[in-house]
Amino acid sequence: MISKKMEAMVQGSSAIRAMFEEGKKMAEKYGAENVYDFSLGNPNVPAPAQVKEAAVAILNEEDSLMVHGYMSNSGYEDVRAIIANSLNRRFGTAFGEENILMTVGAAGGLNVILKTLLNPGDEVIAFAPYFGEYRSYVSNYDGVLVEVPADTQTFQPNLKMLGQKITEKTKAVIVNSPNNPTGVVYSEETIRQLAQVLEEKQSVFGTSIYLISDEPYRELVYDGAQVPWLTNYYKNTIVGYSYSKSLSLPGERIGYLVIPSEADDSALIIGAANVANRILGYVNAPSLFQRVVARCVDAKTDVAYYDRNRETLYSGLQKAGFSCIKPEGAFYLFVKSPVEDEKTFCEAAKKYHLLLVPGSSFACPGFVRLAYCVSYETIVNSLPKFMELAAEYGLGK
Ligand code: PLP
């Protein structure tokens, strides 16, 4: 028998993954070109050429015992120093290698920091809509995920509600900007106000409340949108970064945590996170790709590719009569379902071979998510199908 806890987790297992599997089956049946799979955030832009060049050069030039061996559980010191320096150049910070911990993607980083911080029953606040896996990650360490309902007008975090949700048990608040699933970038004003609420509540309760900034989409922004660097606004910030999207390396499982020296109990957290990385069974982040990303700190993905998809899909959906806010970052569109139960809408969309993810997977029913990190042809060819779907619901008249 499997554990009761896993039983529940399997039951609530990701609708996104289920949809992805269904998409593969539909592609076999109808031909891949006739299925419009907007379900998974799997980048369609290949990794920059620099990534392959770096991997080959490392394998040819560097000592193979070193490249493939164990290292500090926090990662190679030289790699962490290169990343710290790159952040310092970009954000005016003063991080050293000790502030960086290499992780198994953003997912690994979030698990490491939650294991490090949470006692059973501790509360972690997330703003709906949020990446549904947060719920499982918090539950992994017997924490309680507390939800702040969405502001469906702006999809900026609802800060009035945040104040009401914080208790003496609040250990952390997770934010994700650019956001999955809305594509919204949290404004500087939002961040300032968020920091103010957290400061106030820390002094009311005499606690430390950590702001965990989950940032796999930091570089994927459009129209010159700026993503504030949160440690500059709130000292108890811990940043989780990933190369899954920014360098199109989701299968390589590589990212890092930034734990600033200014954060409360920083030295303890840095030490404990190092141990957490090991005892969670990751041991360390993949060695070859630590070395690769160190050589690619200035490499960039083809944001223009996603931007063209964004513009084409957004205007096509508008024309069809759907409503959604224009995303400023990431590669997702969050569209209002024409009916309250968005799951029935997703089912209806399947008739046209359109695969969409219900907003309830992101704690925001009544909306659906489209991941537009697909080929441009998929976008263009899907638009007549969206027209037909809209017509079924009497939209666009
Ligand atoms: N956080 C958010 C908001 C995501 O969208 C994802 C992946 O889609 C992750 C974390 C996990 O990313 P990684 O592949 O780096 O573990």
How remote is the CA of residue 392 from the centroid of ligand 1, in Å? 34
Task: Give yes or no: residues 147 and 9 share one domain.
Answer: no
**Span 240-276, pLDDT tens digits:** 999 999 999 999 999 999 999 999 999 999 999 999 9
Instruction: Assign 148 to helix, strand or coil.
Output: strand
Residue 191 belongs to some domain of the structure: yes
Q: Give the Cα-Cα-Cα angle 336, 106, 210 (nearest 5 degrees).
A: 90
Whether the model pTM is above 0.95: yes
Q: Please state, in angstroms and rounded to a whole number, the distance separating the CA atoms of residues 388 and 394.
A: 10
Residues 220 and 345 in one domain: no
301-321 per-position pLDDT tens digit:
999 999 999 999 999 999 999
CB atoms within 10 A of CB 89: 11
**Region 129-135: what's the mean pLDDT?**
97
Neighbour tally for 31: CB within 10 Å: 10
- Counting atoms of ligand 1 from 1, which one is nearest the CA of 179? 3
102 shares its domain with 237? yes
> Do 259 and 349 reside in the same domain of the chain?
no
Q: How much is the CA Rg of the chain, to the nearest whole Å?
A: 21
Residue 397 is assigned to a structural domain of this protein: no
Q: Cα 154 to the chain's mean position, in Å?
A: 19
The residue-averaged pLDDT of 78-95 equals 98
Question: Of all protein residues, whose CA lies closest to atom 12 belonging to ligand 1?
Answer: 106
pLDDT reported for residue 164:
97
Q: Residue 359 is part of a domain; what is its CATH number?
A: 3.90.1150.10
- The arithmetic mean of pLDDT across residues 271-296, rounded, is 98
pLDDT at residue 397 in the model = 64
Residues 195 and 330 in one domain: no
- Residue 23 token pair: 């998409």
pLDDT band at 12 (very low <50, low <70, confident <90, very high): confident
Final residue of a structural domain among 295, 315, 333: 295
Number of folded domains in the chain? 2
107 CA distance to ligand 1 middle (Å): 6
For ligand 1, pick from 38, 114, 133, 253 the residue to mutate: most ligand atoms within 8 Å of CB.
133
Q: What percent of the chain has pLDDT above 70?
A: 99
Q: Which of 263, 295, 327 is the last residue of a domain?
A: 295
Instruction: Let me know: does 10 contact 339? Beta carbons within 8 Å.
Output: no
Is the per-residue pLDDT at 1 higher than 80?
A: yes
pLDDT value at residue 24: 84
Which token pair is 282?
């990751």
pLDDT of residue 258: 99
Residues with Cβ within 6 A of ligand 1?
41, 105-107, 131, 176, 180, 214, 216, 242, 244, 250, 255
Mutation to probe ligand 1, out of 180, 182, 186 (largest number of atoms < 8 A from CB): 180
* Residue 236 sits in the same domain as residue 214: yes
| Residue-wise pLDDT tens digits, 369-379 | 999 999 999 99
User: Tens digit of pLDDT for each residue in 192-221?
Assistant: 999 999 999 999 999 999 999 999 999 999
Q: Is there a single domain that holds both residue 31 and residue 81?
A: no
Q: Which of 262, 295, 328 is the endpoint of a domain?
A: 295
Domain range enclosing 331:
4-48+301-392
Question: For position 390, what pLDDT does the model report?
Answer: 97
Confidence of residue 222 (pLDDT cuts 50, 70, 90): very high
Is residue 209 located within the same domain as residue 356? no
Any idea which of 16-20, 96-100, 132-136 has the lowest mean pLDDT? 16-20
For residues 253 and 323, membership in a common domain is answered with no
Q: Which of 330, 353, 389 shows the shortest CA–CA distance to 129?
A: 330
Residue 145 buriedness (CB in 10 A; 0-12 / 13-18 / 19+): middle
pLDDT: is 9 or 377 the higher one?
Answer: 377
% of the chain residues with pLDDT over 90 = 92
Which tokens belong to 133?
Answer: 């896996």
Beta bridge partners of 367: 336
Tokens 């990751």 -> residue? 282
Give the model's confidence band at 3: pLDDT under 50 very low, under 70 low, under 90 confident, else very high.
very high
